[in-house]
Amino acid sequence: MLAVTMATYVGSGVVTREMLSFFAIVAPAMLMPTLLGARVYIGITEMRFRQIVLGLLTACNAALLASSVPPLLERASYIVGLNLTP
């Protein structure tokens, strides 16, 4: 089904010839983690897989929150009238 979608994109001009050359770079970058993940998934229990996914989601959300704190503090200091930035 994805091959049909890709062919439609190429045929309609959404994906140009210049973009197709990047496919040679992107395809292995997507295929290798997919194959590695499939091998790891086969070797672990469902409960352990859920724990790994939950851990990764927690780490991603923690990074997202940590990256949003400085802009929020900057906005809050601007609103309150404090100058917390050097």
- Full domain range(s) for residue 12: 1-43
46-83: b (≥16 Cβ within 10 Å) or e: eeeeeeeeeeeeeeeeeeeeeeeeeeeeeeeeeeeeee
Residues 24 and 50 occupy one common structural domain: no
Kindly tell me the sign of the dihedral angle through the C-alpha atoms of 45, 46, 47, 53.
positive
Number of domains in the chain: 2
Residues 67 and 52 occupy one common structural domain: yes
State the pLDDT at residue 82: 61
Average pLDDT over residues 9-24: 85
Residues 39 and 55 occupy one common structural domain: no
Could you tell me which of 52, 28, 29 has the C-alpha nearest to residue 40? 52
What is the average pLDDT value for the chain, to the nearest integer?
A: 85
Residues 22 and 52 occupy one common structural domain: no
State the pLDDT at residue 81: 66
State the pLDDT at residue 80: 66
Residues 49 and 79 occupy one common structural domain: yes
Q: What is the pLDDT of residues 31-67, one digit of tens each?
A: 898 888 888 878 888 899 899 999 999 999 999 999 9
- Extended beta strands in the chain, E state: none
Residues 38 and 50 occupy one common structural domain: no
State the pLDDT at residue 63: 95
